[in-house]
Amino acid sequence: MAKNAPYGDNHRHGAVKDRTQVYNPHNQRWTKIDTDTKLFIDQKADKEPFKGVRKEK
């Protein structure tokens, strides 16, 4: 069985599925969206985008 070592190195293997992110210029934050339900899931506290999540235009 394959292992994605080393553990705890803050490295994601593969993309996050069924989610996208979009930039909100009003509050200058990235918001994560569920592609199935089109509901907002999460918003970043800092101004950096989510890691491994596809960006919408």
Q: Name the pLDDT band for 1 (thresholds 50, 70, 90).
A: low
Contact assessment for residue 34 and residue 53, using Cβ atoms and an 8 Å cutoff: no
Residue 30, both tokens: 């990235």
Q: Name the pLDDT band for 56 (thresholds 50, 70, 90).
A: very high
Contact assessment for residue 31 and residue 43, using Cβ atoms and an 8 Å cutoff: yes
pLDDT at residue number 28: 96
pTM of structure: 0.73
The residue ranges of every structural domain in the chain are 19-55
Residue 6: pLDDT over 90: no
Residue 12: pLDDT over 90: no
Q: Name the pLDDT band for 54 (thresholds 50, 70, 90).
A: very high
